[in-house]
Amino acid sequence: MEDLIVAHNASTEQIKSLSSQLQHCETKIMDLEDRSRRSNIRLRGIPETILQADLPSYVHGLFKALAPEVHTDMLLLDRLHRILKPQQIAASLPRDVLLKAHYFHVKDLLMRRSRTAKDLPMEYAAIKMFSDLSAATLRQRKTFQRVTETLRANHILYRWGFPVRLIASRNGTTTTIHTVEEGLDLLRQWNLPVVGDSQAPKGPRQVEKDWHTTN
């Protein structure tokens, strides 16, 4: 039994080490993919009646409504097309439009303006703009759901960083959260009840060599 326990504990340590290395590699790959998409914008809500040939003029009209001071030459697009619709999206909804802005600072300005835009022309009022993120990044962000829900419930501002991390601001102090466990520990330090909190197993654990038999 002691030999089995020693072998089990050695395997546990190796699993933890390999898991850490794998997570590091996945994070680097996600970061590289997201950097390659950093100039992309997803537009949601453009009717399918707007054909591919008409998309450039429609999108330029939207961008001029958001940032009228930007010269038309600066609204150069390297790519503009519709993308496949995920299976879980209703068939009645239009496909998203994906574009790549030639100038990153213009893309950044448009994204900021879209968050605060008011009184847009009727044809653009329902359009939503999103950053184009990798599927792996979206999955990893979803794992922070308990943390983000707790932050929103307590009116604590936060934003996402890259690679995936949360940057929360509370009482004038900014804190960076790199892992879900780190975020949950921080919330408990702030004495905030965690939404959906539960004690889930944290993977393989080591076994003590000493055990007792009870009758």
Its pTM stands at 0.72
Average pLDDT of the chain is 89
User: For 57-89, how does the pLDDT look when each residue is reduced to its tens digit (9 = 90+)?
Assistant: 999 999 999 999 999 999 999 999 999 888 888
CATH code, 143-197: 3.30.250.20
pLDDT for the residue numbered 213: 52
User: For 187-201, how does the pLDDT look when each residue is reduced to its tens digit (9 = 90+)?
Assistant: 999 999 988 765 544
**184, 154 Cβ separation under 8 angstroms:** no
pLDDT for the residue numbered 215: 47
Two tokens at 180?
């879900």
- Amino acid in the structure at residue 125: A
CA 8 – CA 1 distance, rounded (Å): 10
User: For 137-169, how does the pLDDT look when each residue is reduced to its tens digit (9 = 90+)?
Assistant: 999 999 999 999 999 999 999 999 888 899 999
Based on its alpha-carbon atoms, the radius of gyration of the chain, rounded to whole angstroms, reads: 24
pLDDT for the residue numbered 212: 54
Q: Tell me: pLDDT of 175 over 80.
A: yes
User: For 36-48, how does the pLDDT look when each residue is reduced to its tens digit (9 = 90+)?
Assistant: 999 999 999 999 9
Residue carrying structure tokens 């707790």: 150
The model's confidence at residue 124, banded by pLDDT at 50, 70 and 90, is very high
User: Which percentage of the chain shows pLDDT scores above 90?
Assistant: 67
The domains of the chain are located at 1-37, 39-132, 143-197
At the topology level, CATH places domain 39-132 in: Alpha-Beta Plaits (3.30.70)
pLDDT for the residue numbered 106: 96
Mean pLDDT of 51-60: 95
